[in-house]
Amino acid sequence: MGTIQPHGGTLINRVASGPRREELLRLAAHGKKLYVNARTISDIECIGIGAFSPLTGFLGQDDYDSVLHRMKLADGTVWTLPVTLAVPEADAAWLADGERVALIGEQDGIVYAVLTVASIYTANLLEEARCVYKTGDPAHPGVRQLLSGPAVYIGGPIEMVNRPASRYPDCCYTPAETRKWFAVQGWSTVVGFQTRNPVHRAHEYIQKCAMETVDGLFLNPLVGETKPDDIPADVRMRSYRALLKNYYPGGRVMLGVFPAAMRYAGPREAVFHALVRKNFGCTHFIVGRDHAGVGDYYGTYEAQHIFRNFTREELGIVPLFFEHSFFCTRCGNMATSKTCPHDPAFHLHLSGTKVRAMLKDGICPPAEFSRPEVAKILIEGMST
């Protein structure tokens, strides 16, 4: 198998360099400006480096409406989450189609991109919430973030002039770089794994099951904005490194960060995550239970069922579906309901809430649930 094609057929590169970058920076210094938050800056980076291919910028109204109601861009390409630029109505009032505007970090004053305005429209935020998140409940973190923002969206292509500095420069790759790395390693089949959590034994088990059938694993943790009660990315990154060092074969795993913000959109985000990893060069993608879920808003395996809406040709990447795994004390190893015949009383289950409480109290979860090296790092990280 050759290198997998990026989504839409072309790996997008919206990074300005050389004289073009200097021209755009001069324009930004004297032209119109919009100040954007960390979530938008992470979207700028993902569009710029091609992780969100085939997007060249923030969605215009036609694409936005199509994504909400068809889970496809207006041209029919599968795309499940709206990537939009929300701006206060007062800011939108002095912009017009065709104008160029600088997108500047509201915290650091750095010019990250220049956008050419192609569409200005007002969204129905409650309708968007119900389409994307399947709920209008403001207790849902994605809905809360959406409803707290402006309803006016600016769409149009961007050119990134400054890539955000990464806290993990040794693991910060563009899709072009990962594709080259996979080719150098001789990997023709690569399975991607998305996570915003530490990798415990259950995750390790399904990763290694997948690794039995492919050339390599791309462990691609999300390090953008997450919920306040999620374990911080710095702590998680230390735990990933420890796990890979002690329990994975050298030369068969690549660790690279995904700079996007978490949406918590459950089923739709599962498809979105698969398409992004396709852009990074993965041929397969692991989808477990309650992928990208939060609370009880989605069914346990709803994030797997949504893939039935698309053909293999439309997706271009093979989803690998796994049931919830656990340690069975009778089997003496990790298993799922597909491989273990024993009563659930013999299955070790720990909720994320219970594990976080144990870690905060300095209690190491059982070795059957978490590798001791990982637990030690998490306890230290959560006590600081």
Q: Are 260 and 224 in contact (CB under 8 A)?
A: yes
Cα distance between residue 269 and residue 291, in whole Å:
8
Of residues 14, 162, 179, 196, which has the active-site annotation? 196
Q: Provide the pairing of β-strand 216-221 with 119-122.
A: unpaired
How many CB atoms lie under 10 A from the CB of residue 159? 22
The b/e string for 269-284 (b: 16+ C-beta within 10 A; e otherwise) is: bbbbbbbbbbbbbbbb
Closest CA to 222 of 183, 188, 264, 190: 264
Using a 10 angstrom Cβ sphere, with 0-12 exposed, 13-18 middle and 19 or more buried, the burial of residue 381 is middle
Catalytic residue list contains 196: yes
Q: In which element (H, E) is residue 359 found?
A: helix 352-360
The sheet carrying 216-221 orders its strands as 253-255, 216-221, 190-195, 284-287, 318-321
Beta strands in 90-230 (DSSP E): 100-105, 111-116, 119-122, 152-160, 190-195, 216-221
Of residues 13, 197, 241, 309, which has the active-site annotation? 197
Catalytic residue list contains 279: no
The tokens of 41 are what?
């800056």
Beta strands in 174-231 (DSSP E): 190-195, 216-221
Cα distance between residue 320 and residue 323, in whole Å:
10
Q: Are 201 and 336 in contact (CB under 8 A)?
A: no
Active site residues per annotation: 196-197
